A and B are shown apart, each in its own frame.
Chain A
């Protein structure tokens, strides 16, 4: 067998040389596996550490021991005691106990913690494993010094603008340097810098991006070493949060907490530095409230989504999807729960996650501590859409739907209703590649839970065309759903009428191309339909406040990739920013709510445009009604102010222009005077002809030009030769 021998010769030899000693430890070889290796802690789980033991001398030790024994044996007769002796042979005030199993140890902790041994001695009991988590303070630890309170001024100063103008911030390149600027939208005029020149606009204000806090109190900027919040009329530094290489930040809904995340820097040894990669801070005090390990929360080394935690509207709870468990083959199972944390303690509520099989995503209600969730369907179990009340963990209502391929949840901003869209398939098949293929077409449905109805009623609306997008009127009874495809997308406005079992179609608007988003104005009534990142770049502006929805205007902003209502719903902005389609002109355009263009600005490398959010309205409902009733009277004042300002503005512009022109004329006249002074030289250069002089019409030479006003083709008559052929 010559062939085999040949092969053997060519084969590389991987066996160790004789006498080789394997000195590489598993820690060095596969540290990531070792990190996850389970550790036997049985023994430690059984130990309880008790402090508050009376301090006695060696003479009374035996007596104390027997009394302690008597007390403890009531809990479990198998308990073992160990009193570490002091140098003199007395007690140290501490006691180690070992119990028969971890259960009785836990029971002992519960019963002994806070137990009054006698008048002057109260026990403190801890599990030994818990004690391990306590570490000694660093040698150089000192009591933190009291920080003086820095007053940055009124955080809501901008709300007191006498013309009620809104602000926005942009990040773009100014003279080649990334610059953040805060501006006031001036309604039709050029936006004005909202503050002093050197305060409201700063080069390199942030190293990556900026955000507004949810109530608009702070502008937050991201830096290499952490986050800075700026507030007040001078944009002074209000708070700092140290988090190296921070990447993402998120505020809780009422600005009380700030969540920050930095990915572990060393990917080789991520477990060393990822224990506190996710941190929650108190915004007002700057205190680090809690830090989380991403790996423990998600079972992954990287975050799956951002914002990672979803906060309830009142900041009492925050939640995330539970980490997927692994089966025996180390394969990830589907996620089967939500981890709900209490913001008071930052601990998992009831120490365990809520189990919801196959959960895909969830959303908090905007006005209650209720969770809406969607769990995917499997071949055996239909998909489930449900409402879960926290903290009672009761399911208010759930609906099961078969054959769901895709779904989305939409809460109405006032919390009255929840809509979910489902794409339902007929039959499912698997391709060779393992991908799922839906056979026999799909149907599209909108289902609506009415939260305030008895037992939470459910209504269904089948759609005739594929679903594209959906949005609720934040306060009213209407919603708009966009259906169709990129070539023909039709916005449909529906109304939910009391005592009706299905939404009523109010209007079907003209279809358009490339529409992909519906946005209701924050105060309702008006609606924008956007065709983002399309070459046409259309936006429809629609009034839904009347009996029939009416389109007022269509605008074009080719290739725009973002569109936002301002917080009051008076203005709409479209912008094309970095990260949109290449070749787009970066910049923004501001429109009135009816779609009239008010302002257009092109900016180099525009990265962000963000309206400054407004805090919630604090006026009583009665007062709000009063204002609505007297709107005409109040409006008259604003209209007059607008007109006055327009007049003044044009006066100002004219004044400014005069000055510019006067300055320019100085240079122009100087140059013209110079040219006049060398007139002789110029005439001489052109052989005595004064080319500056008005042409003398007598010297004109008439020239006739023939112009063909029209041309037409006529067939040439056939010559005799041709005819012969």
Chain B
């Protein structure tokens, strides 16, 4: 497979995600149309039309039946993944910044942006309960914060949520107790948490932060296990499904990109050993910061989405496959 550079979005990418099997790639960007592609050849299958603003996040259920998107047009939409029609729309007062499905795909969580009077809100709704899926419907879990919740995802089946904040704070909530966080980690990151991703087996969590680091966390208690240092803000980080490797993507702030040469911008994705915290490889491709990245289930294919508007699907070469650490 050649490296594929997919130009289907008009603006900066905000999320790339493979479905569980890895044959489809779901992407969304700051334009209005999330897309789905064949991983194999990079052909675009179609887009989910209906949003009227930047789409900040997309997720797909384990069986690739439904998609959820969070948009700056103040809505979260649930789509039929295959047919592309919108099943539900949840409205809110402020832009929606992230969304995700639970392990079963029955629950959907999303976070909203804090704006003037409106606090940042994290909510969970049950797709099976039609009362929750209408405008003004009561959510099965809701909490609000004075600081922006940038990202949220289900970390323990359908029971627990992990939330990352703009202040660098990380918290875990049990769905049955929206009042109190069960775990908190305020020491690991100094600036905004940009991305949280689970390891494919579900035993670890990786957080990417603007403080130029990514951290491997214990999914059960949010304790820091490892920390990976980069020279630039990290926008996204993910864990290899097959080997003890993690990959970090990010780069110089979009605002400053015009002032820096490409080599100084650090737009490469950087691969670290998950346990020894050492960087051992980089791969180039984007000419702007990487906003989002994900590892394919095979462990040899990789998708990145950049500020430059491109999605890149790359396959690792022999050197990577043959590379081992002595221990």
List residues of chain A with CB under 8 Å of any chain B CB: 535, 558-559, 583-585, 602, 650, 653-654, 657-658, 660-661, 664, 667-668, 671-672, 674-675, 678, 681-682, 685-687, 689, 691, 695, 705, 707
* Residues in A neighbouring B327, C-beta threshold 8 A: 654, 657-658, 661
* Residues in B neighbouring A658, C-beta threshold 8 A: 327
A675 to B204, CA, bound (A): 11
Give the Cβ gap from B101 to chain A, nearest Cβ, in Å. 11
* Residues in A neighbouring B220, C-beta threshold 8 A: 671, 674
Give the Cβ gap from B92 to chain A, nearest Cβ, in Å. 27
Q: Does B260 contact A (CB under 8 A)?
A: yes
Q: Does B116 contact A (CB under 8 A)?
A: no
- Asked whether, in the complex, the Cβ of B231 is within 8 Å of the Cβ of A585, the reply is yes
Ranked 10 nearest A-B pairs via Cβ: A671-B203, A657-B327, A685-B104, A707-B41, A664-B275, A585-B231, A535-B261, A658-B327, A558-B264, A583-B260
- Asked whether, in the complex, the Cβ of B264 is within 8 Å of the Cβ of A559, the reply is yes
Q: Does B21 contact A (CB under 8 A)?
A: yes
* Residues in A neighbouring B104, C-beta threshold 8 A: 685-687
A467 to B15, CA, bound (A): 54
- Asked whether, in the complex, the Cβ of A583 is within 8 Å of the Cβ of B21, the reply is no
List residues of chain B with CB under 8 Å of any chain A CB: 20-21, 38, 40-41, 43, 62-63, 103-106, 157-158, 201-204, 218-220, 225-226, 229, 231, 252, 256, 259-261, 263-264, 266, 275-276, 325-327
A-B pair number, CB within 8 angstroms: 75
- 26 intermolecular pairs with C-beta atoms under 8 Å apart: A535-B261, A558-B261, A558-B263, A558-B264, A583-B264, A584-B264, A585-B266, A602-B229, A602-B231, A654-B327, A657-B276, A657-B326, A660-B275, A660-B276, A661-B275, A671-B219, A672-B203, A674-B220, A675-B201, A685-B158, A686-B63, A686-B104, A686-B105, A687-B104, A695-B21, A705-B41
A705 to B1, CA, bound (A): 14
* Residues in A neighbouring B225, C-beta threshold 8 A: 664, 667
* Residues in B neighbouring A687, C-beta threshold 8 A: 104
- Asked whether, in the complex, the Cβ of B252 is within 8 Å of the Cβ of A675, the reply is no
A683 to B158, CA, bound (A): 12
A559 to B259, CA, bound (A): 13
- Asked whether, in the complex, the Cβ of B20 is within 8 Å of the Cβ of A583, the reply is no
Point out the residue from B201, B218, B326 that lies within 8 Å of A654, measured CB to CB: B326
* Residues in B neighbouring A559, C-beta threshold 8 A: 264
Give the Cβ gap from B161 to chain A, nearest Cβ, in Å. 16
* Residues in A neighbouring B229, C-beta threshold 8 A: 602
* Residues in A neighbouring B218, C-beta threshold 8 A: 667, 671
Give the Cβ gap from A555 to chain B, nearest Cβ, in Å. 14
* Residues in A neighbouring B231, C-beta threshold 8 A: 585, 602
Q: Which residue of A lies closest to B43 (CB)?
A: A705
Give the Cβ gap from B275 to chain A, nearest Cβ, in Å. 5
Q: Which residue of B lies closest to A692 (CB)?
A: B201
- Asked whether, in the complex, the Cβ of B41 is within 8 Å of the Cβ of A675, the reply is no
* Residues in A neighbouring B106, C-beta threshold 8 A: 685
Point out the residue from A558, A654, A675 that lies within 8 Å of B202, measured CB to CB: A675
Give the Cβ gap from A234 to chain B, nearest Cβ, in Å. 31
A601 to B211, CA, bound (A): 18
Given contacts A671-B219, A682-B157, list 17 more A-B pairs with CB under 8 A.
Answer: A558-B263, A558-B264, A559-B264, A583-B256, A585-B231, A585-B264, A585-B266, A654-B327, A660-B275, A660-B276, A661-B327, A664-B226, A671-B203, A674-B220, A678-B157, A691-B20, A691-B62
Give the Cβ gap from B201 to chain A, nearest Cβ, in Å. 7
A583 to B266, CA, bound (A): 11
Q: Which residue of B lies closest to A685 (CB)?
A: B104
Q: Which residue of A lies closest to B21 (CB)?
A: A695
A558 to B262, CA, bound (A): 11
- Asked whether, in the complex, the Cβ of B264 is within 8 Å of the Cβ of A682, the reply is no
Q: Which residue of A lies closest to B273 (CB)?
A: A657
Give the Cβ gap from A637 to chain B, nearest Cβ, in Å. 28
* Residues in B neighbouring A685, C-beta threshold 8 A: 103-104, 106, 157-158
A664 to B216, CA, bound (A): 11
* Residues in A neighbouring B41, C-beta threshold 8 A: 705, 707
Q: Which residue of B lies closest to A585 (CB)?
A: B231
